[in-house]
């Protein structure tokens, strides 16, 4: 299944998909769409993930995979592609909040982080400021620039 940027017409589709997977969607606007990666089966969404840019940092949000496609590495592929795009664009650290997937992100190499250490711009995002409970786990992924030809050993291709 191909992972690609969301289409500019997919705002309500993504809002419904995220809401169906118990993730925040009420703050999503059309301008967020260009930072979404999606995976489709026909005209149905199967998975998505998004980056909210706060250069040089970013917030990963809205990772979801349809129930019948879970456990096959799709979330890993979505996260890998988002991370690689962010690295290529010069982002230095990604952050996220999660109430459901802390173990998965630790498995993918993300690091537990104190909210107080998160840059102000990221902390002012709606996820940090309003949508995610204080009990949500906070994680970060430092992105080192990769030299040409170097392999990503943290997330090998499937
Ligand atoms: C969380 C979610 C996106 C995972 O999707 P998925 O496609 O089943 O995940 P993957 O198959 O890509 O798993 C990626 C890796 O994490 C591992 N993993 C998955 N769940 C894990 C867990 N609870 N603890 C530790 N590792 C876990 C997998 O074994 C896999 O590792 P591997 O590649 O080394 O085998 C999916 O369950 C979902 O949509 N949940 C509802 C929405 C949600 O909670 N999103 C998270 C918001 S932050």
Q: Please report the DSSP string for 68-84 in residue order.
A: GGTTSSHHHHHHHHHHH
Residue 124 Cα to ligand 1 midpoint, Å, equals 27
Q: Does the Cβ of 157 fall within 6 Å of ligand 1?
A: no
| 40 domain-assigned | yes
* pTM of the complete model: 0.92
* Number of domains composing the chain: 1
How many CB atoms are closer than 10 A to CB 82? Answer: 21
| 31 domain-assigned | yes
**Ligand 1 atom closest to the CA of 70, numbered from 1:** 8
- What's the pLDDT tens digit per position in 78-108? 999 999 999 999 999 999 999 999 999 999 9
- At 21, list the tokens: 């997977």
Q: Does the Cβ of 154 fall within 6 Å of ligand 1?
A: no
Q: Does the Cβ of 156 fall within 6 Å of ligand 1?
A: no
- At 145, list the tokens: 């620039």
Output the domain CATH number for residue 29: 3.40.630.30
- What is d(CA 30, CA 55) in angstroms, rounded to the nearest whole number? 20
138: nearest Cα among 155, 119, 157: 119
| 70 domain-assigned | yes
Residue 83 Cα to ligand 1 midpoint, Å, equals 16
Residue 90 is predicted with a pLDDT of 96
Mean pLDDT value of segment 20-37: 93
- At 9, list the tokens: 């017409």
Give the residue numbers spanning the domain of 112.
3-142
Inter-CA distances, 125 with 10, 57, 74, Å: 22, 12, 26
Residue 155 is predicted with a pLDDT of 52
| 158 domain-assigned | no
| 157 domain-assigned | no
| 148 domain-assigned | no
**Ligand 1 atom closest to the CA of 101, numbered from 1:** 46
């Amino acid at each position: 299944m191909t992972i690609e940027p969301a289409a500019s017409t997919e705002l309500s589709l993504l809002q419904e998909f995220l809401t169906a997977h118990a993730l925040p969607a009420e703050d999503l606007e059309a301008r967020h769409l260009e930072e979404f990666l999606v995976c489709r089966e026909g005209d149905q969404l199967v998975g998505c993930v998004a980056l909210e840019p706060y250069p040089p940092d970013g917030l990963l949000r809205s990772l979801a995979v349809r129930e019948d496609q879970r456990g096959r590495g799709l979330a890993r592929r979505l996260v890998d592609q988002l991370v690689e795009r962010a690295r290529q664009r010069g982002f230095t650290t990604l952050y996220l909040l999660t109430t459901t997937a802390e173990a998965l992100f630790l498995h993918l190499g993300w690091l537990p982080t104190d909210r107080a250490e998160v840059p102000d711009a990221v902390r002012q995002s709606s996820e940090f400021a309003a949508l995610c409970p204080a009990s949500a786990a906070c994680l970060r992924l430092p992105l080192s620039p990769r030299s040409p030809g170097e392999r990503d050993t943290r997330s090998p291709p499937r």
